[in-house]
Amino acid sequence: MSLCILIFLIIPLLPFSFSSAQSLSSFSISRSPWHPSQNRTILSPNSTFTAGFQRSPTFPNLFIFAVWYSNISHDHTIIWSANWDSPVHQSASLIITSNGDLQLINGSSGPNLWNTTTSVRSNSSRLFLRDDGNLLFGTSWESFEYPTDTFLPNQTFRNTTVLTSRNGKFKFTGSSNLVYGSDIYWSSGSTLVSFGVDGRVVKSSGDPIYSADFGENNKTRRLTLGDDGNLRIFSFDPKRGKWVVVWVALLEICEVHGLCGPGYICYSDGSTLSDYECVCPPGFKRSPNSDSCESKIPNNDLARSKFLRLDFVNYSGGSNQTNVITYSFANCSSKCLAHDQCLGFGFKYDGSGYCVLQLEKLINGYWSPNTEMAFYLRVDQSEPDPSNFTGMSEVLNTTCPVLVGLPDTSDESNKTTWNIVIVSVLFTVEIASGVLLFWAFLKRYVKYRDMAQTLGLGLFPTAGPKRFTYAEIKSATKDFSEENMIGRGSFSDVYMGKLHDGRPVAVKCLKSVTGGDSEFWAEVTIIARMHHLNLVRLWGFCNEKSRRILVYEHVSNGSLDKYLFRPSHIGLEGQNNEHETDMMLSQEQKPILDWSIRYRIALGVARAIAYLHEECLEWVLHCDIKPENILLGDDFCPKVADFGLSKLRKKEQLVTMSRIRGTRGYLAPEWTKNDPVTSKVDVFSFGMVLLEIVTGVRNMIQGPSCIPSEEWYFPKWAFELAIEERRMEEILDHQIKHSYDDKVHFNIIDRMVKTAMWCVQERPEMRPSMGKVAKMLEGTVEIMEPPKPTMFYL
Ligand SMILES: *[C@@H]1O[C@H](CO)[C@@H](O)[C@H](O)[C@H]1NC(C)=O
Ligand SMILES: *[C@@H]1O[C@H](CO)[C@@H](O)[C@H](O)[C@H]1NC(C)=O
Ligand SMILES: *[C@@H]1O[C@H](CO)[C@@H](O)[C@H](O)[C@H]1NC(C)=O
Ligand SMILES: *[C@@H]1O[C@H](CO)[C@@H](O)[C@H](O)[C@H]1NC(C)=O
Ligand SMILES: *[C@@H]1O[C@H](CO)[C@@H](O)[C@H](O)[C@H]1NC(C)=O
Ligand SMILES: *[C@@H]1O[C@H](CO)[C@@H](O)[C@H](O)[C@H]1NC(C)=O
Ligand SMILES: *[C@@H]1O[C@H](CO)[C@@H](O)[C@H](O)[C@H]1NC(C)=O
Ligand SMILES: *[C@@H]1O[C@H](CO)[C@@H](O)[C@H](O)[C@H]1NC(C)=O
Ligand SMILES: *[C@@H]1O[C@H](CO)[C@@H](O)[C@H](O)[C@H]1NC(C)=O
Ligand SMILES: *[C@@H]1O[C@H](CO)[C@@H](O)[C@H](O)[C@H]1NC(C)=O
Ligand SMILES: *[C@@H]1O[C@H](CO)[C@@H](O)[C@H](O)[C@H]1NC(C)=O
Ligand SMILES: *[C@@H]1O[C@H](CO)[C@@H](O)[C@H](O)[C@H]1NC(C)=O
């Protein structure tokens, strides 16, 4: 019945399709042969896809037989091709032989370049295209079984599915691993099962991958393995007329193995998700006869070597890496010096004891601030090159001064070494296949799934946060005792605790979380993947008997609001209680933050949010930026808290109703109007916080000395005084006004105020992106005169 209706719907379309001269609905023996010089195409019934000969993008004089989107013509997005690697001349022919074989022959004779040989043959077999982009021949050959570099919705993954990047360098195999040669550099954890039209990729373990535009069923999407080795889901944006990335396997392109040869450092400034370059480290030069870097002065006499510090560089691969756990830099460096094959070592200053010696080879080198480490490269003592990978001390100075050279607390008997191969994503083939077999075994026993996850987590530490047992959490927080409670909110309670290894933690017990166990696990995994100096680090979680608990690093100095807003305003903070505030319950007097610390806080928060928006893709919106969610660590290093939590509530619910999230005073106008909510809502909230950092007053309070009125609007007030009347000092926090020195501070405060004005613009498109905001604060881009912010109706 429904089929009949479908046919009726399609039939009127057909004459239309035929009217555009050379468009066929199928290719059959009666139309054979088909030459590339004929302008012929096959259209899918509803015209979404087209198949036919097309000029090869790599050899413009030759042709390939391909499938592409009919309407996305400007870049001819090819989703499948029969002969990408063997393009043919324009006199080539595609024929159906009298015994029912489809053959693609270059010229008049030659080998068949497109093998569709199947057991069932008939001379009535036709080549036709389905509405989902699947090209079929006869009854049993389909292009969906032989994908090239792209996967489409409605296509099913098989364990034999292989996607190959167009340059042939990278593969996606076993429906789960990205590989370079035999080197696995990314794994989805469990095999992918299907790619739905709603943008969700289902995995065999049940925890799906969601695209950023998940839930919109009429979007055109594709999953493509790029020439840079990264796997992405693209979604076509008809308004902008281009493909946008809505999911990406590796957030940092330089974590792809094999992008750069041995010795090279892959460098990406992070401004895009795909640009990178390969550079040689100082003391090294491009090797003339291979794609690698070689040292300029051979380090023959090992006794005469020194180290060059390469900030934020890591060499993550190598046949033989060992993590010598030591907290002292001197120890780490002497271990490397003592080893004949040690080419350098990676060291972290965060007190985690990370000291990895790089033996024999320097491979998979990359630069990224997220490494949070420095690599010490062994060179000859006479090497004159200075290190040009600097910037750590600058970042440490501007955002987070970290204590360098922590005392070595570990007992030397504790020099456990283990194979970093397991710790990094770089698994050896043996381990990977072992895990897969083990996984396959466990899969059969659904009741052990929980155990599988736990064990899986143990084996893939980088793939997920640690799972704590409820008993561990209970003992860490002394049975959730009242004295350990540091915050209480409608969504969660927060306790302070100490793990058995002595690490202090903040334990957040969530109260109302929807979704199943695997969804919770998936979301937590995503939150844990977000690493940034200025984001509170998620260490683990607990999910037992419907208790959902998150375990965070403990940030020592409490939240920013305690420093900005003095007790005199405390009565008015009650306005805020419509939303949780994870505040320290103790009310001890906090020191007043000076201007340079305030500036550092602003910059750190901007960078963290920019990271959430731009490196984790746009849909990781914070949605609740306010001083309560900015925690201050040692040296007042800001750390943004509470990010990603909105993901724990069902996304479908968010898409539909009860949209408003966040806190009054920090809410962008889009929340209350019916406009689409984008990353610009965070920019707005950040602008408010920025003004509060400068003025020391809560934005809902009517100024330090102002007549209350309906017309009063915080940004407008600040704009009139600071920008129109050029009386900057009028709006400054009165507590440190006296320390304001026009010469020293005007520049940074002016930048903060002007940036804030751009952020609180009523129209979202007027507000800069968070990445731009960070640059404006840094002073690396010029800030134009902001327009006056207008009040919107709350
Ligand atoms: C095919 O189309 C192209 C441009 O669309 C045109 O230049 C060419 O002459 C056409 N060839 C035939 C055989 O119609
Ligand atoms: C292709 O574009 C034309 C107009 O440009 C439009 O009428 C048609 O509906 C589109 N077809 C598809 C499949 O999007
Ligand atoms: C097809 O023939 C053309 C020229 O005749 C040649 O350049 C091309 O390499 C051939 N393609 C294959 C796959 O042999
Ligand atoms: C197709 O095959 C049938 C026999 O299987 C034969 O009778 C018929 O002539 C063939 N048609 C063509 C076009 O070769
Ligand atoms: C074509 O593919 C089939 C099945 O995949 C295979 O058995 C056959 O050997 C292939 N033929 C050629 C010429 O590659
Ligand atoms: C064509 O069919 C596909 C698959 O059913 C559907 O996703 C797409 O929206 C359809 N396109 C048009 C223009 O109807
Ligand atoms: C999706 O795949 C199924 C099974 O292969 C097929 O029956 C269905 O027609 C496909 N959907 C579209 C829109 O082609
Ligand atoms: C692929 O799956 C089939 C059945 O689903 C199974 O028989 C086969 O062993 C699997 N192959 C691999 C390499 O896992
Ligand atoms: C896609 O679906 C949404 C509702 O699900 C609708 O508002 C929108 O107009 C649709 N877009 C297109 C291009 O059909
Ligand atoms: C560092 O210097 C080397 C040459 O010594 C150069 O090849 C490389 O591009 C430089 N790297 C950066 C990040 O500037
Ligand atoms: C790794 O290094 C140790 C000693 O440092 C050596 O015994 C072992 O053979 C090395 N393994 C490989 C695979 O190179
Ligand atoms: C960072 O601070 C240290 C000491 O406080 C100073 O020596 C160094 O020059 C500073 N670096 C930069 C880039 O400002």
Q: How many CA atoms lie within 13 A of 90 on its CB side?
A: 9
618 lines ligand 6 (CB under 6 A): no
pLDDT at 573: 38
Mean pLDDT to the nearest integer, 702-728: 78
- Contact assessment for residue 496 and residue 506, using Cβ atoms and an 8 Å cutoff: yes
Mean pLDDT to the nearest integer, 494-498: 90
Atom of ligand 4 nearest to the CA of 30: 13
* Residue 390, CA distances (Å) to 312, 395, 424, 631 in order: 8, 10, 24, 27
CATH number corresponding to 595-778:
1.10.510.10
Of the ranges 222-231, 603-612, 677-686, 695-704, which is most confident?
A: 222-231
Mean pLDDT to the nearest integer, 206-210: 73
Which segment of 343-352, 421-430, 568-577, 785-794 scores lowest on mean pLDDT? 421-430
Contacts 24+ apart (CB under 8 A), 519-526: 519/207, 520/548, 520/648, 521/207, 521/453, 521/464, 522/207, 522/208, 523/644, 523/647, 523/648, 524/464, 524/465, 524/550, 525/207, 525/463, 525/464, 525/465, 526/616, 526/620, 526/644, 526/647
**343: its two tokens:** 């080419």
pLDDT at 224: 94
Give the residue among 281, 287, 472, 462 at the shortest CA–CA distance from 383. Answer: 281
Which segment of 43-47, 413-417, 635-639, 683-687 scores lowest on mean pLDDT? 413-417
In this structure, the strands spanning 293-295 and 265-267 are: unpaired
pLDDT at 712: 78
Ligand 1 mean position to 39 CA, how many Å? 6
46 lines ligand 6 (CB under 6 A): yes
Per-residue pLDDT at 385 exceeds 50: yes
Q: Which residue has the higher pLDDT, 235 or 7?
A: 235
Mean pLDDT to the nearest integer, 136-149: 91
In this prediction, what percent of the chain has a pLDDT beyond 90? 28
CA angle 111/112/115 to nearest 5° reads 145
pLDDT at 374: 86
* Residue 420, CA distances (Å) to 81, 156, 348, 378, 439 in order: 40, 35, 15, 20, 22
pLDDT at 391: 59
Which segment of 65-74, 345-354, 482-491, 545-554 scores lowest on mean pLDDT? 345-354
Residue 460 to residue 58: CA distance in whole angstroms: 39
Confidence grade of residue 253 (pLDDT, cut at 50, 70, 90): confident
In the structure, which protein residues have their CB atom closer than 6 angstroms to any atom of ligand 4? 29, 98, 123
Per-residue pLDDT at 180 exceeds 80: yes
> Would you name the residues annotated as active-site residues?
624
Of all protein residues, the one whose alpha carbon is nearest to atom 12 of ligand 12 is 394
Mean pLDDT to the nearest integer, 430-448: 34
Q: Which residues contact 427 (CB under 8 A, 6 or more apart)?
A: 184, 187, 421, 435
> What is the topology classification, in CATH, of domain 22-254?
Agglutinin, subunit A (2.90.10)
Which segment of 564-573, 661-670, 734-743 scores lowest on mean pLDDT? 564-573
Residue 57 to residue 50: CA distance in whole angstroms: 17
Pick the ligand that lies closest to the CA of residue 266. Answer: 10
For the stretch 746-774, pLDDT in tens is 889 999 999 999 999 998 889 998 989 99
Atom of ligand 5 nearest to the CA of 112: 13
Confidence grade of residue 393 (pLDDT, cut at 50, 70, 90): low
Strands (E), 238-330: 242-248, 265-267, 277-279, 284-286, 293-295, 305-311, 313-317, 321-323
Query: Buried b vs exposed e over 353-373: b needs ≥16 C-beta within 10 Å?
Result: bbbbbbbebbbbbbbbbbbbb
- Contact assessment for residue 149 and residue 143, using Cβ atoms and an 8 Å cutoff: no
Look at residue 120 and give its three-state secondary structure.
coil
Q: Indicate if 466-554 has the same CATH topology as 22-254.
A: no
- Mean model confidence pLDDT for the chain: 77
Ligand 10 mean position to 279 CA, how many Å? 6
Confidence grade of residue 705 (pLDDT, cut at 50, 70, 90): low
Residue 31 to residue 26: CA distance in whole angstroms: 9
pLDDT at 767: 93
Atom of ligand 6 nearest to the CA of 45: 1
In the structure, which protein residues have their CB atom closer than 6 angstroms to any atom of ligand 2? 47-48, 71
* Residue 203, CA distances (Å) to 176, 245, 460, 505, 661 in order: 9, 20, 17, 32, 30
Q: Which of 27, 31, 98 to mutate to test the pocket of ligand 4 (most atoms within 8 A of CB)?
A: 98
CATH number corresponding to 265-398:
3.50.4.10
With left for phi above 0 and alpha for psi between -120 and 50, is residue 779 left, alpha or beta? left
Per-residue pLDDT at 315 exceeds 60: yes
Ligand 3 mean position to 97 CA, how many Å? 22
For the stretch 317-333, pLDDT in tens is 765 667 777 777 888 88
The residue extents of the domains of the chain are 22-254, 265-398, 466-554, 595-778
**508 labelled ligand-binding:** yes
Residue 305 to residue 111: CA distance in whole angstroms: 59
Look at residue 49 and give its three-state secondary structure.
strand
Residue 755 to residue 605: CA distance in whole angstroms: 13
Instruction: Report the side by side order of strands in the sheet with 135-137.
Output: 26-27, 127-129, 135-137, 141-142
**474: its two tokens:** 């209970």
Q: Which of 101, 123, 126 to mutate to test the pocket of ligand 4 (most atoms within 8 A of CB)?
A: 123
**204: its two tokens:** 């065999």
Q: Which residue has the higher pLDDT, 144 or 664?
A: 144
Mean pLDDT to the nearest integer, 497-508: 87
pLDDT at 581: 38
Per-residue pLDDT at 205 exceeds 90: no
Give the residue among 608, 632, 599, 564 at the shortest CA–CA distance from 398. Answer: 599
Residue 282 to residue 379: CA distance in whole angstroms: 9
Mean pLDDT to the nearest integer, 682-698: 94
Mean pLDDT to the nearest integer, 571-597: 54
Give the residue among 215, 187, 189, 191 at the shortest CA–CA distance from 203. Answer: 191
* Residue whose entry in the numeric block shows the structure tokens 């992405």: 232
Per-residue pLDDT at 177 exceeds 90: yes
For the stretch 14-39, pLDDT in tens is 333 333 347 888 999 988 889 998 88
Eight-state DSSP code of residue 611: I
**Residue 544: what are its φ and ψ, rounded to 5°?**
-130, 135
Which amino acid is located at 736 in the chain? I
With left for phi above 0 and alpha for psi between -120 and 50, is residue 341 left, alpha or beta? alpha
Residue 761 to residue 713: CA distance in whole angstroms: 13
281 lines ligand 10 (CB under 6 A): no
Q: Which residue has the higher pLDDT, 634 or 173?
A: 173
pLDDT at 615: 67
90 lines ligand 1 (CB under 6 A): no
Mean pLDDT to the nearest integer, 491-499: 86
Give the residue among 585, 389, 408 at the shortest CA–CA distance from 487. Answer: 585
Of all protein residues, the one whose alpha carbon is nearest to atom 9 of ligand 11 is 320
Element (H, E) at 376: strand 374-380
Longest dimension (CA), the chain: 95
In this structure, the strands spanning 23-24 and 41-43 are: parallel
Mean pLDDT to the nearest integer, 480-497: 84
pLDDT at 792: 64
pLDDT at 144: 93
Confidence grade of residue 710 (pLDDT, cut at 50, 70, 90): low
pLDDT at 252: 76
Which segment of 268-282, 348-362, 440-454 scores lowest on mean pLDDT? 440-454
Give the residue among 572, 578, 763, 749 at the shortest CA–CA distance from 680. Answer: 763
**379: its two tokens:** 């060179």
106 lines ligand 3 (CB under 6 A): yes
May I ask the CATH class of domain 466-554? alpha beta
Ligand 2 mean position to 71 CA, how many Å? 6
